[in-house]
Amino acid sequence: MPTTLFLIGAVVVGVREFSASAKLQGRVDQLKQAGEPYDNASHDQWYRNHTHSEGMQAWVQILDSVSATSQLGAVDSLPIVGNGKELSELDPLSEWQDKPRVEEYLTE
């Protein structure tokens, strides 16, 4: 009797596992056909294809130079972003000379 119950349970579990595996494989096939990422490798490739690496490489170089030189005390010699001309304050009540161009752009 226990052996029969065990075999019935094993068959039920096996059928459920096979069904779940077939369902998952069907979904993966749908994603592959649609060109959607479906696993780690395809997600990595998808993000690489949709990311511009030029800016990322520049930030990596900046961060690497800062981390490599911070122990040497050379951080002060790096250029500081934003050290140019200060921005002028806008007066919300004054007439804005670019207002027609901006309105045209926003309308478009």
DSSP code per residue over 5-17 = HHHHHHHHHHHHH
| CB of 57 closer than 8 Å to CB of 65 | no
pLDDT, tens only, 14-25: 999 999 999 999
What is the model's pTM?
0.39
Instruction: Give the pLDDT band of residue 71 (cuts 50, 70, 90).
Output: low
- Mean pLDDT of all residues in the chain? 79
- Rounded to an integer, the average pLDDT of 54-80 is 66
Q: Six-digit token pair at 10?
A: 């094993």
Q: Is 35 exposed, middle or buried (0-12, 13-18, 19+ CB in 10 A)?
A: exposed
